[in-house]
Chain A
Amino acid sequence: MSFSIAIQADDFDVGAEYARLIEHDKRAGAVVFFVGRVREMNQSRVVSGLSLEHYPGMTERVLEQIMESARARWELISARIVHRVGALHLSDQIVFVGVTSQHREHAFQAAEFLMDFLKTQAPFWKKEITEQGEVWVDEHQKDKNASERW
């Protein structure tokens, strides 16, 4: 049973994160994880990379609060959030969210909840490197709608 977050410049290994989530655990029948990656097209711009900024001190705190909210709502055994910052290239991994629970409904819902709130609450900002130059990404209404359904 472990709950942790990490904000790091380095890449993460999904296999190692999965192993960490289920380590010494015989109860978790369900594991759900999500990986977000740098995609080539965003809002009809061709993207070659991203620069990701955060607010040290606050970002960690918000991620911990989001995780606490998820634990209060669902029966979770473990959860892990990893978010990268700094310079990222096309197809790089950006974020990992993983949860384990006895049953899949809790794991699926909690993973979605964590991602929805991470996207709308956690102080991270993306700047895209495109053919037209550098562009700060705008917030998406669909992300706001997604977090409001909880």
Chain B
Amino acid sequence: MIRVVFLAQLREQLGCAGIEIDSTEVSSISELKQYLLERYPEWSEFLEQKKLLIALNHEYARSDLPLVSGDEVAFFPPVTGG
């Protein structure tokens, strides 16, 4: 399974904190995004925001990185701490 996490404003926009996806369905972060857009077309406005950041297993990641079972992918808006 691949765990997908949505944080902060994005979680509220999607109305979803996270989902699990079978690792046979997607093999990279970009495929995962495509899968989400097909499955949840109502999320496209929010998931396609240019400023959205992605992390793979708690590290900032680019969308061409491969995924394997047990991975955690997070999508979130620009950070505003401090």
* Residues of A close to B77: CB separation below 8 A: 125, 136
Q: Mark B55-79, 1 if CB is under 8 A from A, else 0.
A: 1001110000000000000101111
A-B pairs, top 10 by smallest CB distance, nearest first, are A124-B81, A125-B8, A139-B78, A58-B58, A119-B82, A136-B9, A137-B80, A126-B80, A57-B58, A118-B82
Interface residues, chain B, CB within 8 Å of chain A?
A: 5, 7-9, 51, 55, 58-60, 74, 76-82
Interface residues, chain A, CB within 8 Å of chain B?
A: 36, 52-55, 57-58, 61, 83, 94-95, 115, 118-127, 136-140, 143
A53 to B6, CA, bound (A): 12
Closest to A97 in B: B82
Interface of A is mostly: mixed
* Residues of A close to B78: CB separation below 8 A: 138-139
A61 to B61, CA, bound (A): 14
Tell which of A55, A118, A124, A125 has the most Cβ of chain B within 10 Å. A125
A139 to B77, CA, bound (A): 9
A114 to B74, CA, bound (A): 24
Tell which of B59, B78, B80 has the most Cβ of chain A within 10 Å. B80
**Would you mind naming 10 contact pairs between A and B with Cβ atoms under 8 Å apart?**
A52-B81, A54-B81, A58-B59, A94-B82, A95-B82, A123-B79, A125-B80, A126-B81, A127-B9, A139-B79
Q: Smallest CB–CB gap between A10 and chain B, Å? A: 17
Given known A-B contacts A55-B74, A136-B8, A120 and B58 have beta carbons under 8 A apart = no
A95 to B8, CA, bound (A): 19
Tell which of B7, B77, B79 has the most Cβ of chain A within 10 Å. B79
B55 touches A58 (CB 8 A): yes
A36 to B80, CA, bound (A): 13
* Residues of B close to A53: CB separation below 8 A: 7-8
A123 touches B7 (CB 8 A): yes
A42 to B81, CA, bound (A): 14
Closest to A139 in B: B78
Given known A-B contacts A55-B74, A61-B58, A119 and B81 have beta carbons under 8 A apart = yes
A126 to B82, CA, bound (A): 9
